[in-house]
Structure 1
Amino acid sequence: MGVRAALITENKRLKACGGKLGLSVFQSNELINERSSLVDSPVNLVAMELLKLLGIQGERVLDTSQFDLVFVHVGAHEEGQVSKYTEYINSLVGEIILKAKHESEIGYRLQFSVVLSYGGTSKDDESVFSMSNKNRNTDSNFASLFPSQSYTMKGSNPRSNVRDYCPMMITQWQDAVTRKDTVETFSFQDFLENGGNLTIPSDRFVHEVAFKLWKAPKYGA
């Protein structure tokens, strides 16, 4: 889609995958010029270097940038390290949001997404993890009027092979976007009750981000 994209990760399998997809792949020590991982570096330094890849320095947005899109992978691979990584992600998100404060030059130019994996799901988990519209209390007289997400349709016909649950959660932030939901916490229950988009395949998510960057046409209504 013409997007200049970078991937920052220390995961070998993800490095290989990113390279095959045409992404520019970096290790964290290449980003911060130190022999340390992202989570071992000051979070304000990491946030500053990430924004610099997008052409943002200090409180200014430069006319040119090295990349249009940057993926940062932070993985809790080691047993017992989940809380450490969660705390770090929370701090990094807070630091970036602070720099892109409302109505600032950065805020107008930044589209920010956080994707969290909470493990795989099995057949027995469908009743717990389902995010389907079908599970919502809807008056049967109006069931046919309930809108469908575009990815569930092929032409005018519903697709039969679409999962109604997935093992990842995502939240997006972009200044001046009018359509938003009422989610206040990054939790499954809050997403289920107050989330806006329900589920979306990962390939459509990347296309949606490209659309927000004016790099791709809208994929559906």
Structure 2
Amino acid sequence: MADKPSRSLVLYGDGLARFVKPTHDHLHSFASRASCGFLSLPRAPSSETEDSRIAREFAELLDAIEYDNMSVREAIKDNSEKCAVPTISERFVGMKAAIITNNASLIYFGGRLGITMLQWDGLIDNDHILADSQLSLASKLLKLLGFQEGKMLDTSQFDLIFVHVGAEEKVMYLKDIELVNSLVGELMHIAQPGTHIGSRLHMSIIMSYGASLEDDNSKFSVSDAKHKNNFGLLPLFPRQSYTMKGGKPREDVRCHCPMLVAQLQNAVTRKDMVKVFSFRDFNENGGILTIPADRFLHEVAFKLWKAPKYGA
């Protein structure tokens, strides 16, 4: 834990986990310095659309899934004030949060939670991604968090920024993953160990798998395979914490296709044995193991001094 509150930047690659390649050096370098693991999600409704999935999974990250239902979404679209929803600021000691996205569902939902919604237009030209534009984007993000001229200012526009990257059209995924990889490289260059920014910036990279496919259950499973065939002894094995909530089992936990999460803040987060930003390496060498996605924001808020100790 730092001796002063941090500011947080979360890069969320929505559906991009499948597209991380060995050539994405900056992502792998980040993972090799970070604390890595998984965020578990509940099972998806059978009739869920892609747009609904995007909103539901993001609501899990905000621990606001109870507000991601049809009545709330309709109230949002109708600009109704009848449905009172506690804001992020009210839940986390005045925390000022922003989300950068072009997704309409997230814009509606995040706005209802009191989050400032920023769109990519004006921050970057997605048709002309150049090296110098990446420096500009990284600098803009850090400036919004109060980092300027290598230092953290006492006040800032935001304490936390989510950067949502993930195209609704599959042809855009390769472009999106390249954007994330380049942005991570520039941010790591600015927030190097020993710098003031490096010791105050809590940075998270989240990669999800999007809609799960038929063979995902066997390829990306976090359940303990050693116990699968010991049906008689299964009751004797303790349940992992991500399958529990309030002392009761979570009955809808999806044991495959978790979100991959890597977190880094110099001299604050631990360094795992991970070398590659991949499911296999996180599963074998990650220190975070698996936590429910709805606990993620609470852990980040703790680093910002906006919440009690995570898990307490």
Of 175, 192, 198, which aligns to 2:266? 175
Secondary structure of the residue aligned to 2:121 is helix
Deviates more, 1:38-47 or 1:183-192: 38-47
Deviation at 1:96, TM superposition (A): 0.6
The count of residues paired between Structure 1 and Structure 2 equals: 212
Corresponding residue for 2:206? 115
Deviation at 1:17, TM superposition (A): 1.5
Looking at structure 2, the residues matched to 28 and 117 of structure 1 have their Cα atoms a distance apart, in angstroms, of 20
Corresponding residue for 2:32? none
Maintained 8 Å contact 2:206/2:260 = yes
Secondary structure of the residue aligned to 1:192 is helix
Deviates more, 1:77-86 or 1:64-73: 77-86
Of 208, 212, 225, which aligns to 1:135? 225
Of 19, 36, 43, which aligns to 2:111? 19
Maintained 8 Å contact 1:116/1:170 = yes
Of 77, 94, 116, which aligns to 2:168? 77
Give RMSD over aligned pairs: 2.8
Looking at structure 2, the residues matched to 164 and 198 of structure 1 have their Cα atoms a distance apart, in angstroms, of 13
- Say if 1:47 and 1:38 are closer, same or farther in 2 by CA, change over 3 A: farther
Superposition misfits of 4+ residues, deviation over 6 angstroms: 144-147
Deviation at 1:194, TM superposition (A): 1.1
* 1:164 alignment partner AA: C
Looking at structure 1, the residues matched to 127 and 262 of structure 2 have their Cα atoms a distance apart, in angstroms, of 21
Query: Equivalent pairs: percent with the same residue?
Result: 52
- Say if 1:17 and 1:115 are closer, same or farther in 2 by CA, change over 3 A: same
* 2:95 alignment partner AA: V
Name the TM-score, length of structure 2 as normaliser: 0.60
Secondary structure of the residue aligned to 1:6 is strand
Q: Does 1:61 align with 2:155?
A: no
Secondary structure of the residue aligned to 1:177 is coil
Deviation at 1:154, TM superposition (A): 4.5
Looking at structure 2, the residues matched to 97 and 210 of structure 1 have their Cα atoms a distance apart, in angstroms, of 22
Q: Deviations over 1:125-158 (max 9, x none)?
A: 33322213x2369xx9xxx798943x44456x56
Deviates more, 1:193-202 or 1:43-52: 193-202
* 2:262 alignment partner AA: T
Maintained 8 Å contact 2:190/2:197 = yes
Looking at structure 2, the residues matched to 152 and 117 of structure 1 have their Cα atoms a distance apart, in angstroms, of 19
Maintained 8 Å contact 2:98/2:160 = yes
Looking at structure 2, the residues matched to 215 and 186 of structure 1 have their Cα atoms a distance apart, in angstroms, of 29
* 1:177 alignment partner AA: V
Q: Give ranges in structure 1 of 5+ residues lacking alignment.
A: none
Secondary structure of the residue aligned to 1:185 is coil
Q: Give ranges in structure 2 of 5+ residues lacking alignment.
A: 1-91, 231-235
Maintained 8 Å contact 1:39/1:85 = no
- Say if 1:172 and 1:136 are closer, same or farther in 2 by CA, change over 3 A: farther
* 1:159 alignment partner AA: P
- Say if 1:160 and 1:82 are closer, same or farther in 2 by CA, change over 3 A: closer
Relative contact order (C-alpha < 8 Å, sep 6+): which is higher? 2
Secondary structure of the residue aligned to 1:76 is coil
Corresponding residue for 1:90? 181
